[in-house]
């Protein structure tokens, strides 16, 4: 399970994480559930990716959770096609769960990745 965005999340942090895929802002917006007509409006923005992320972070998309997992899933989608970047973000912001057996019992171990800034 990925860590939720903190309430005071810096928009720049998310945009920095997505920096390599700036040119894919439109399909990322589609994957984040932003309506097509709203995405068309963002074409006029100086930085359309920032507009997409800000719109999503402000809770303007009802059924799409605001979480790192949503970003990871959007990047892994066939339309965006960035599984490598999805993996990097997942490693940085999503704890890894391992299941191990100790004396016949199953235990979950969570590893929380620390932010690299």
Q: State the pLDDT at residue 78.
A: 93
Cα(30)–Cα(104) distance, integer angstroms: 46
Cα(1)–Cα(110) distance, integer angstroms: 10
Cα(115)–Cα(117) distance, integer angstroms: 6
Residue 3 domain flag: no
- pTM beyond 0.85, yes or no: no
Q: What is the residue-level pLDDT of the chain in tens, covering all 117 positions?
A: 555 555 545 688 888 889 999 999 999 999 999 999 999 999 999 999 999 999 998 888 888 888 888 999 999 999 999 999 999 988 888 766 544 444 544 444 444 333 333
- Based on the structure, what is the number of domains in the chain? 1
Residue 48 domain flag: yes
Residue 74 domain flag: yes
Q: What is the domain range of residue 48? A: 11-111
Residue 1 domain flag: no
* Residue 26's CATH number: 1.10.533
């Amino acid at each position: 399970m990925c860590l939720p965005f903190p309430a005071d999340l810096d928009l720049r942090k998310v945009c920095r994480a997505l920096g390599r895929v700036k040119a894919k802002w439109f399909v990322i917006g589609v994957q984040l559930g932003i309506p097509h007509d709203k995405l068309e409006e963002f074409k006029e923005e100086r930085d359309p990716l920032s507009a997409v992320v800000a719109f999503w972070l402000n809770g303007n998309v009802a059924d799409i959770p605001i979480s790192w997992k949503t970003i990871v899933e959007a990047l892994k989608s066939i339309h965006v096609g960035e599984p490598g970047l999805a993996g990097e973000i997942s490693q940085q912001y999503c704890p890894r769960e391992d299941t191990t057996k100790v004396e016949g019992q199953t235990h979950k171990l969570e590893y929380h990745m620390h932010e690299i800034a």
